Homo-oligomer: A and B are copies of this chain.
Amino acid sequence: MTEAPALDRGARSRDAILDTAGDLMARHGYAATSISMISAACGLPVSSIYWHFRSKDGIYVAVLGRARTALLAALPQAEVPGADVAQRLDTFLAEVGSAFRRQPRGVKLLLGLGMVQQDASAAALAEVRRYRDALVAWARDSLSSVFALRDRPEVADELARFTLRMAAGTVVARWFEPDAVLETGPLRVALLALASHHGVPVGHVPGRDAPSRGVANRE
């Protein structure tokens, strides 16, 4: 057990470094995370860290790349199953909420460097952009499937932007109220209203809770 095949000793160390580095950078941000902190937290000396990744920047790029593939693997297919819009939307929102709960670090990593745009390396900027583009594409495709928007790409784009900004805003809210969750209920109402506002047929709009007791939507 302790005698792992010597070949992947390095790979295991590499993973350990990425684990602790990702954790620290998500908590403190890129600039406030030092190599010595990572070294102390994972037990390996600084020179080993530099042997695996050539620089602090390289660590960040690797950490973010790993977070991206992990997140994309956790997100389901873009084709959302379900008979009607309401059903597919509920499936989509459940997936988003669950991924959001289970991957608390991914997005914070984006923010961790986000502040540093100015002095970030080209590699880091590229990796950040890949992460973000992957999220945008996933949201657009999923919502396109939910609302059957193959012929209305601009609507799918707007819905995706809306959803992602709400998610990002919730990440921000979290460092004031650590137990803040992505409120899928209001988001559901908003997405249905937005789609409907653009003339997309959304079915009967059942309304999960609070049975709309007012005089709204009458002429």
Contact = CB atoms under 8 A, between A and B. Distances in A.
Contacts of A171: 172
A213 interface: yes
A162 interface: yes
Interface string A161-201: 11011111111110110000001001001101111111111
Contact of A115 (B112, B158, B170, B197): B112
Copies in the complex: 2
Contacts of A1: none
A4 interface: no
Contacts of A196: 212, 214, 216-217
A203 to B, nearest CB: 8
Interface residues of A, number: 60
A165 B162 contact: no
Interface string A61-90: 000000000000000000000000000000
Interface of A: 27-32, 108, 111-112, 114-119, 128-129, 132, 158, 161-162, 164-173, 175-176, 183, 186, 189-190, 192-202, 204-205, 207, 210, 212-219
Given A31-B31, A162-B190, A193-B194, 19 more contacts: A28-B118, A32-B119, A108-B115, A115-B175, A162-B183, A165-B170, A165-B173, A167-B169, A168-B172, A169-B170, A169-B172, A172-B172, A186-B190, A186-B194, A190-B190, A196-B216, A199-B213, A200-B214, A205-B217
